[in-house]
């Protein structure tokens, strides 16, 4: 069964350092989402891509976060510089286009900023 891949699974970094997360969606899924999830809360959308274009990044802290999906397939989310408050689970999800459908999630990257 096709899955969304994410790496790394865990990342510990010191504040002010740069960190990057990678996501490979299910093949053929045009829509890709990056979420941040704080423990005990639901996911919060950071950025949404349709193919290689950003559909919504209104909740992305653009002074330190950036996201790209250059060829419309895999995607990278970067934080520079990391702050203590960035400690969270970062989830990637994808869905097929052509209708309002379910999202498929990767296993997530647990980020700890020290």
Partner 1 sequence: SQQGEEDPQALSIQEGENATMNCSYKTSINNLQWYRQNSGRGLVHLILIRSNEREKHSGRLRVTLDTSKKSSSLLITASRAADTASYFCATDAEDSNYQLIWGAGTKLIIKP
Q: Which residues bind partner 1 (CB under 8 A)?
A: 4, 6, 31, 33, 40-45, 48, 55-56, 89, 91, 93, 95, 97, 100-108, 110
CA atoms 53, 56, 62, 68: torsion sign: negative
Nearer to partner 1, 31 or 75 (CB): 31
As measured in angstroms, the least distance from the Cβ of 42 to partner 1 is 3
As measured in angstroms, the least distance from the Cβ of 87 to partner 1 is 14
DSSP character for 73? S
As measured in angstroms, the least distance from the Cβ of 16 to partner 1 is 26
As measured in angstroms, the least distance from the Cβ of 88 to partner 1 is 12
Nearer to partner 1, 22 or 104 (CB): 104
Q: Give the integer Cα–Cα distance in Å for 60 and 17.
A: 18
Largest CA distance in the chain: 42
Beta strands in 1-114 (DSSP E): 5-7, 10-13, 19-24, 31-37, 44-50, 53-56, 65-68, 75-79, 88-95, 104-105, 109-113
Nearer to partner 1, 81 or 110 (CB): 110
């Amino acid at each position: 069964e096709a899955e969304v891949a994410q790496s790394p699974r865990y990342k510990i970094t010191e504040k002010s350092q740069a960190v990057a997360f990678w996501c490979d969606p299910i093949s053929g899924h045009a829509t890709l989402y990056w979420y941040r999830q704080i423990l005990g809360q639901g996911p919060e959308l950071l950025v949404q891509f349709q193919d290689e274009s950003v559909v919504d990044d209104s909740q992305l802290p653009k002074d330190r976060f950036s996201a790209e999906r250059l060829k419309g397939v895999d995607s990278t989310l970067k934080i520079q510089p990391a702050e203590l408050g960035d400690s969270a689970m970062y989830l990637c999800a994808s869905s097929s286009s052509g209708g309002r459908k379910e999202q498929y999630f990767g296993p997530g990257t647990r980020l700890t900023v020290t």
